[in-house]
Amino acid sequence: MNSEKISDSSSLCLACGCCCDGTLIGFVQLGSEELPALRELMEVEEQNGEGFFLHPCDRFCDGCTIYSDRPKQCASFKCGLLKSLEAKETDFDSAVEVIKVVKQKRIAIEEKLMTQPYQLKSDSFYFKMVELKKLLKKDTSESPLTEDLKQLDSLLLKNFGISLD
Ligand code: SF4
Ligand code: SF4
């Protein structure tokens, strides 16, 4: 990887943060060997010897506040958009534009959700949208969120390789 790619990739993630803030991912799996050190740095859930934490990540604040000690899965994760940028299938400005559209869609959905009776239990936006999709599949009445959710689902799949199923 050349320095231009590293710089573009880092800058894109800094401008985005959509995995850390729970927009695109609901949790991070942790290796058992990472747990002792990570327990000192963040809230970690443990079940049957396995570790994980739910998004939004409590170490995210305009970027990762434990960057040099972040979990392995965080360090290795690359969404489809980042991979496309690194492969030069998209350019930096177009990738930033996609992120802007996703963030605007999230705001629009959250605003509409406040006016709706749905009881979504998840903390992360991503898992909320997974819940909402299931609810809307069962709901025979037309919801003001149906079209927004369809657009979000298609945006995430096409640009990030992430599904709401
Ligand atoms: S969603 Fe992709 S571009 Fe955004 S911060 Fe995560 S890896 Fe980087
Ligand atoms: S530990 Fe850092 S990189 Fe990992 S999800 Fe939290 S803020 Fe993001």
Report the nearest atom of ligand 2 relative to the CA of 58.
6
Q: What is the pLDDT of residue 3?
A: 47
CA 70 to ligand 2 center in whole angstroms: 6
Confidence band (pLDDT; 50, 70, 90) for 52? very high
66 CB less than 6 Å from ligand 2? yes
102 CB less than 6 Å from ligand 1? no
Ligand having the closest approach to the CA of 34: 2
User: How far from chain centre, in Å, is Cα 65?
Assistant: 17
Average predicted confidence (pLDDT) for the chain? 93
83 CB less than 6 Å from ligand 1? no
30 CB less than 6 Å from ligand 2? no
Confidence band (pLDDT; 50, 70, 90) for 141? confident
The predicted model scores a pTM of 0.91
Give the closest residue to 81 by CA, choosing from 154, 164, 13, 153.
13
59 CB less than 6 Å from ligand 2? yes
Question: What digits encode the pLDDT tens for the residues 77-118?
Answer: 999 999 999 999 999 999 999 999 999 999 999 999 999 989
What tokens does 7 get? 């710089």
User: What number of other Cβ atoms are within 10 A of residue 13's Cβ?
Assistant: 20
Q: What is the pLDDT of residue 4?
A: 52
pLDDT at residue 53 greater than cutoff 60 = yes
Cα separation, 97 vs 103, whole angstroms: 10
For residue 26, which amino acid is it? Answer: G
Q: What is the pLDDT of residue 129?
A: 98
What tokens does 164 get? 């709401």
19 CB less than 6 Å from ligand 1? yes
Mean pLDDT along residues 37-63: 94
